[in-house]
Structure 1
């Protein structure tokens, strides 16, 4: 299990994301830049214990309507070869030293563990406590056989979010700007073969639930 260190980060994660989010095609904020607050998330464990994996939900309160974004991050002790385009930034960790933070959907370790989560082979971990499951994160998948997590995966950003083209002609459509489910129970769209859902906090202190990712066969995700 990953150990959560209570220590200072310079710059902070929110400072890194404040500069990075406006560069994304799915960012919906204004020209003045985001004003971010942490709203939730969860962690996954790297089986080899080398890469930190965190799925953060941050809310931009700069506009008339707050927007919650799902941002997976991988934390590495050295640069990831060939992933310069996915670098969110570097920071100094009070215990671990310099860390390279990457957009998690571009990191093969994150993608492999995300697929394992959707298939039920691993569980989500609490964002802030070591060795503590997060029961608010739910996932499901139908069908037989595992999706290979060690194969090259192409991540494509657009205005709707991020799409991962997976082996066996599957596509994982990843929500970036989150939407709260009506009635509090998110349902995957018709034709989906898997999904991931979770909880985040609203600026007024409420809790809402929505879809984080939807798995579909073929290219029509």
Structure 2
């Protein structure tokens, strides 16, 4: 199980995202710099213990209508070969030293563990509590397991979010702009083979819930 080090990051994750988010096609902010708050999320374990995996909810309060973004991040102790385009930035970790932070949909370790979560073969971990499971993460899957040996992610971003083809004609849809739903926990979206959902709190402390990821036939 991954160890969470409560230490310093320079720059912080939110500082890295402040520069990176406006470059995304699904970003909904205006011309001003986003003002970000970490609102929730969860982690997954890398079985090899090398890659940090986090699904962060970051809320932008710079506009009258606050927007919550889903930001999957992977943290590595060395550059991920061929993923220069997916680099969010580098940061200095108070314990682990220099870390390379990636848009995690381009990282095969994160994508593999996300599918394992959807299929029920991995468990979500608490975002900030070492060694604790996250019981608020809801997942479902009705399809057969998807083998990912040698899989290289090729995600595509558009205004609606991120589409990530996976084997057997399936596609992961990452809902980058989170839309709260009244159900708690939310039901699997119609036509989806699998999904992941979780709650978070907006900066005013209001509890919200949304579907983070769906798995569908392409």
TM-score bin (small chain):
over 0.9
2-structure distance, mates of 1:143, 1:56: 26
Q: 3-state DSSP class of the match of 1:56? A: strand
Whether the 8 Å CA contact 1:111–1:149 is kept in 2: the answer is: no
**1:108 matches 2:130:** no
Q: How many residues align?
A: 217
What's the CA shift for 1:154?
A: 1.6
Whether the 8 Å CA contact 2:44–2:125 is kept in 1: the answer is: yes
Whether the 8 Å CA contact 1:142–1:194 is kept in 2: the answer is: yes
What's the CA shift for 1:207?
A: 1.2
Partner of 1:69: 69
Partner of 1:52: 52
What's the CA shift for 1:40?
A: 0.2
Q: 3-state DSSP class of the match of 1:186? A: coil
Whether the 8 Å CA contact 1:113–1:149 is kept in 2: the answer is: no
**1:210 matches 2:210:** yes
Partner of 1:11: 11
1-structure distance, mates of 2:182, 2:167: 32
Alignment RMSD, CA only? Answer: 0.9
1-structure distance, mates of 2:110, 2:153: 11
**1:192 matches 2:188:** no
When normalised by structure 1's length, the TM-score is 0.96
What's the CA shift for 1:189?
A: 2.5
Whether the 8 Å CA contact 2:107–2:153 is kept in 1: the answer is: no
Question: For structure 1, which runs of at least 5 residues remain unmatched after alignment?
Answer: none
2-structure distance, mates of 1:82, 1:183: 40
Whether the 8 Å CA contact 1:171–1:217 is kept in 2: the answer is: yes
Whether the 8 Å CA contact 2:140–2:188 is kept in 1: the answer is: no
Partner of 1:155: 155
CA spacing shift, 1:183–1:111, aligned 2, 3 Å: closer
1-structure distance, mates of 2:49, 2:138: 23
When normalised by structure 2's length, the TM-score is 0.97
Whether the 8 Å CA contact 1:83–1:106 is kept in 2: the answer is: yes
2-structure distance, mates of 1:143, 1:46: 23
Q: 3-state DSSP class of the match of 2:69? A: strand
What's the CA shift for 1:173?
A: 0.7
Partner of 1:138: 138
Q: Report matched runs for 1:31-42 at 5 Å.
A: 31-42=31-42
Whether the 8 Å CA contact 1:76–1:101 is kept in 2: the answer is: yes
2-structure distance, mates of 1:126, 1:149: 25
Q: Deviations over 1:150-169 (max 9, x none)?
A: 32232100000000101100
1-structure distance, mates of 2:208, 2:96: 34
What's the CA shift for 1:191?
A: 1.3
